[in-house]
Structure 1
Amino acid sequence: MKKQQQDTLIQVIRTHDDDFIKELNRIHTQEILPMTTDRAKNDATKNLPALETQSPIHFEFLTTRFNRLIVDFKTHAQRNHEAYYAQKDISEFKKLESRLQEKLKGVNNELRIKNRAIENLKSCKEKMTTYNKALVGIVLLSCSEAIFASSSFQIFMSNLLLSFVIGVTFAVALYYSATIGGKLLKLTKSKMQFIGILSAILLVIGGVFYTLGYFRLLFLNEMAEPSQSGYDLSPLQFMAIQLFFYICAILLKYFYLPEKSEVEQYSQWKEAKRDIASLTKQQQDLEGQHTDMEKSLKETLIARKTLMSNAADTERRIDALYKDSYQHYVQINLHHRSDSAIPKCFESMNILPPLTLYFQDEALQDFNEAELEDE
């Protein structure tokens, strides 16, 4: 939107400049050249300027007239303060850029700290990843056989859904018992303690599994056909299968269960990851703001420079008409002189007084990207 407004402003000013140039050409053709012709002829009848004359006194009227045109254009152009505002825009940009850079520096420092923390906690994260993978196996091993054994509870209740719910509850209890068992094994100081605690756990859980196996066998015998004599199985077989899975689960917990400090470190790792995501967004926002500011400033400077350049071009056009008028005066004067002499003031155009120009200072037009890189 801002660029569109600037383009519209430039177009409007160019239209005004074009109108001024049309009026300038009219004044030059219809007023200045006829006046110059008359002055040149009048001076020629008196053989003026004199042969030794080295001053521009006889055609200074042109300097006066064209300086007035320069002033008229300066008033018309109203671009006296473009360079000032350009420098002001650059100064404001640098202040805002400095504040943005400070914020960006702080964000980058925080990012470095968080990335270093992520690197330091990498081993903890890898261990937690391994544990999470093992956790799937632990849950399956702890719960699968218990859920399958849920049919055993139908000895006490005929509702299959209710017995399944009880089986799931029992499976969850087994999972937590494996977790507690793994933690207890980690507290052991010696091999004997390890064996003792593991044996105690297996004794208690084995008794539970034996009871479940007994009920399961009763259920299977009740469900058997009358012609069948029953299943030739023992509760110990069911207990052995379930204990095998449970031992695998409790050992997985023992080997992969993270310490409390590792869990805290993993929480720190996750927090650092969240912070990095937030800081990265802040970094991108700040960089985006800086890019937008820089783009806006460059567009503004280009617009101001275009206006200054157009003004300088118009002044050069006026200066060219000024010199053209001087050449016209010289030609008419020489053509109508009776002495056919060439005064010294006609030998070089350097004698022509320069016009007072306002938009030719290169410093006024050289505010550009280089200004932005000074600091």
Structure 2
Amino acid sequence: MTPNVDGRPEWEPAFVLPNLMLDPEDTRFPGEFSLGLDGITIVPASDARVAKIRAWSPPADEFLGSFHDGHDKSITPAVLIVSRDRFIDMARAAKPIISFRNAVAVSSILPTRARASNGWSSPSWSQAFDYNALELSLDGRRLDIRSPALQGYGVLTDGLSLSRDIRLPREASRLVDHHLAARLGRLWRRAYRRKRDIRSAERVFRSLEVAYEALAMRSRHYDSVPEAGLGAIYWSTAIEILAAPSKGRVTKWHCVKLLRAPGDAEPPPGSGFRKSPIWTRRWWVPMESKKSRCHMNLPQRLFLRLYDARNHFVHGHEAKKRVLAPLGSNVSPLLYFASSIYRLALKSYLDEHWPCALASHDGLWLDLDWFDYEDHLAEALGEPLLV
């Protein structure tokens, strides 16, 4: 059956995300992810815009209807769609689309990890946002497959049966860091549509791509210590990208400087929050020369531990669990806190380069989402933030 080219839909599918569950009927949770942008979004395959794509292209319809949970129970995948005009404006390039996907994933997973101790059930791993290798051709007539190991055109759709990643619980996306999502959405628009601040913005999106890898579940080697240590490498690198000076090599001290207390760390009167101990508790840490010391807050001290772990694994030292659990048996491992350390670094970089964002649209003058991350980091001290 040939697609009706004259009835080409307004929206085009970029990627299919079979591991991501979105439920537009449940108003408690996000029904789609758009970062506040128009012309690009992630929606369930049941969305009306996707329905038009399926009606136009039988291969797309068969593709989107072929996913199951591993037991032949049909599931509805999510689809990253882009309006045809926006796609043309971006020259159908993958880079801005991947940057958008990474921003969505980080904005969703970071708050979930920050609230992990409260029992929140939501995607905690970036594999939830991985896309399937099959893609719809531009004319809608066939499915193609693209991967580093396999290239194929005209994949047969008869009897096509595709499973989600059965290592992952397929949970509804319940949490979004609204402050971060809005700021990353405005930055995406600024870089990829307005073509402004491209160098500074692309540093953010390169960092997000590394953070996406840091957020991945590592279980290919049965949770070996060296495999777990890869997380320290990715998280340190994601922060180093943000902290790197315009000239010269980046050091851990550049990263430490980036992890300062944010300007809105002081809670507003009557908010129910008190001044966080992650800022009031201080540590004297020897500098490189050992002849001087630096006064550090908790995130900075935790980062140095993370950086030490990174060096440990990069330089081939014997892998030991204590490297990833330096805080003792009664405190969570170091990588448990890494996502919130990264959120602070990302916030600091955004505040430094686009400070007006805090006082502009959406009433985001105060980063209320940040208090969840403070509470998360404070677990390293065993001190809750809520009064």
TM-score by length of 1: 0.19
The one of the two structures with greater contact order (alpha-carbon pairs below 8 A, sep at least 6) is 1
TM-score by length of 2: 0.19
The answer to which structure has the higher strand fraction is 2
Which protein has the larger Cα radius of gyration, Structure 1 or Structure 2? Answer: 1
